[in-house]
Structure 1
Amino acid sequence: MSDPVDRIDELIAAAVAGQITPSEQHELDRLRREHPWINEEIDALRAVAARLQDTDDVTWAQPASTDALRDRILREIPTQHPRDRNHGPEIGSAPLRRTNRRPWLTPLIGAACLLIGLAIGFGAPALTSIAPSGPPGTLGAIEPIDVRDAVAGVQVDAELVAHTWGTEAVLDATGLDIGATYTVVFIATDGTQFPAGQMLGSPVPIHCRVNAAVLREDAVRLEIRDAEATLVAHADLPDA
């Protein structure tokens, strides 16, 4: 049996969309008299719809393919046919509190936000977030480095990201001894060593992020060492 709140949700959705039948309108009018908060809900949703419709600074550019988007949205929308709303259960006059209502708009708002995001992404690229880029030491920029392997069978690829609080290393590694502990260390211009973190050798490729409290412009070398401090891989860092 359908939940009475689900029935109210269906009627509110139909009213906001302007696709409510006369019998549904009669049912909704009765419910609005019994539960005044329904009026507030409908007014708020209509206001949101109006603001989106009147927004001038969001433009739409048709994406190259909309099939995947359409399928994704349809999966989020309940499958009940609109005409089935006329067969919903009769709702009693027991008070229904707003705090007990389920978020019926979640899938629809999610779909709407997806469409708005596409509109902004395709029609207003200046509003989208652009990853920083620049020479070594540029805050937030991804900096590939040349990692040399000192142990046969080990393969390590790494990128650095400079932050105001230190330096981050993004590592992809294979060939490390399973279960063995490895330490990532940054070395500064004055020889000071800054441990960035540890990782365990794994039978599957490792992808991890480690951080050290040394600024990128002060770091000149990255080393990966095993538990006996034997050098496994290293990279000399470009000047930042």
Structure 2
Amino acid sequence: MRTPDDRWAELVAAALAGELSAAETAEFDELRRSDPRRAEEFASLQGVAQRLRHGDVTWVAPRDTSDLEDRILASIEKEGAAVATPSADGGTGARRRRAWVTPLVAAACLVIGIVVGVNTAGVFTPTTPAGPPGTLGALEQIQVSDDTAGVDVDAQLVAHTWGTEAYLEARGLDVGRTYELVFVGAHGEEFTAGEVLGSEVPIVCRMNAAVLRGDTVRMELRDGPDVVVAHADLPRV
């Protein structure tokens, strides 16, 4: 049996994806006006969804890295386009299934504690993009050169419409020391992708820089402003 919370969850997901009809917008606004708790919940969820869209969350993870490639590919698959199948009545009866049941919404809902029960079997077909360097969403293998003895760095890149993402795996960094990942443009411009701390265990990071893949020609992991501990010369796009 459906409950008011089920309807609220549906409206939240549709609102995050910009899929509310005029009638649903009025219904959604009324629910938020009448229940401050729900209004606060939606505001928090908007913030989480925005961060997920921009990919600005970075981390230092002391964990086993043997499944790094599988985890990277699984993450890339989440960016595949989702296509809904038409309804049996040609769309004249029940409202079409919405494309808002995506990994973005699912992840955000889990953070806030909302569960949306929708049967999506056969509706979505995620794909892994492939292509030359600069292909949006495709995993780009790069050759990283280690410039400091004892340091071992591997990386892959993903081009996005908002910038360039690096999947970084590093060993041998000094424990507790701060290292910065920097992308360098063709004319020497520098774009930071964030920082990591050295650890006794392998570091696995997902880092982001606000520079398009086609505008960067080099990636550097730096120990301070002048010391490069590892670098990769990137193919021109």
TM-score by length of 1: 0.48
Which of 1 and 2 has greater Rg?
Answer: 1
Structure-2-length-normalised TM-score: 0.49
Query: 1 or 2 for the larger relative contact order (CA 8 Å, sep ≥6)?
Result: 2
